[in-house]
Amino acid sequence: MKTYLDCIPCFMTQALRAGRSAGLEDKQIKTLLDEVGAMIRDLPMENTPPETGAVIYQKIREITGIDDPFKKIKEKNTREALDLYPYLKEEVRNAKDPLLTAIRLAIAGNVIDFGVNRTFDLKKDIKQILKQDFSIFDYAAFRSRLETAKNIYFLGDNAGEAVFDRILIEEIRKPVIFVVRGIPLINDVTYKDAIMAGLDKVAEIVSSGSTAPGNVPALCDPGFMKRLRRADMIISKGQGNYEGLSEEPLPVFFLLKVKCQVIARDLGVTEDSIILKQQKNH
């Protein structure tokens, strides 16, 4: 997905929030906003939003000198999600269609997100998403692809959310490669966070090498991209991965909750929709 004009003020808001969450002082945040503001002029609108995100979080690392400012928040989110794990498993066990319930839960986990300007109430969101209608629902295609797929990649999004992804992977009952970011970016899931969430028990964990808060091919490790292009099924979580891959000719199924107006418009749905969408150009 390209950058829309509405993304530009949002980059500033994200920088402000990320700076605050990273514990920056007001003066440092002002410096961050100065730099992000000055960057807008050279921003290629053809770029995907996570590519700009990459620059913002690079600047935060430079200013703070801290590699993983969201470490504690991610650990807290993962602990909270692990506490819910037995309850989530029970929901799947009691479901008429356990796979679909696991998909819904994976989307519910996607509300754990500090990159978007929102607050969330996890338990409330889970209950709501368990009964919410999908706005795009390519479930038949998903099921049928899953039956034949031999090389399945699962693109993780946020830490904490990864616990919910684990539940979906457990329902897939096939070997899955769980993909994490190459470096810490906001609360995005890294190798360490995935281990803490127990993903190593259900999948092979691989880093995309991405330096952006979303798997943008140009910012992923070329070797990883080569392997990904041989996948016969890719399950992509969240907005960042959608923004990075929405125009790539890959066998992707996007699972996400729509958290901003720009992505809602891009998908032709309303904000707060839940989506299970098969990539069109593949």
Please give the residue ranges that form the binding site for a copy of itself (CB under 8 A): 5-6, 8-10, 12-13, 15-16, 26, 29-30, 33-34, 36-41, 45
Q: Which amino acid is at 105?
A: L
Shortest Å, Cβ 59 to a copy of itself: 13
**What are the tokens at 174?**
């096939």
Shortest Å, Cβ 37 to a copy of itself: 4
Which of 219, 215, 216, 226 has the alpha carbon at shortest distance from 179? 215
Between residues 38 and 140, which has the closer beta carbon with respect to a copy of itself? 38
Between residues 9 and 222, which has the closer beta carbon with respect to a copy of itself? 9
Residue 114 DSSP class: S
Shortest Å, Cβ 151 to a copy of itself: 41
**What are the tokens at 118?**
């929102």
Between residues 45 and 141, which has the closer beta carbon with respect to a copy of itself? 45
Between residues 41 and 96, which has the closer beta carbon with respect to a copy of itself? 41
> Which secondary structure element, helix H or strand E, spans residue 163, and what is its range?
helix 161-172
Return the exposure string of 31-58: e unless at least 16 CB atoms fall within 10 Å of the residue's CB, then b: bbbebbeeeeeebeeebbbbbbbbbbbe
Shortest Å, Cβ 30 to a copy of itself: 7
CA distance 253 to 58: 29
Shortest Å, Cβ 61 to a copy of itself: 20
Collapsing DSSP to helix, strand or coil, 255 comes out as strand
> Which secondary structure element, helix H or strand E, spans residue 49, and what is its range?
helix 49-64
Between residues 117 and 144, which has the closer beta carbon with respect to a copy of itself? 117
The Cα-based distances of 282 to 1, 145, 172 in angstroms read 16, 13, 22
Shortest Å, Cβ 40 to a copy of itself: 4
Between residues 9 and 249, which has the closer beta carbon with respect to a copy of itself? 9
Residue pair 32/282 in contact by the 8 Å Cβ criterion: no
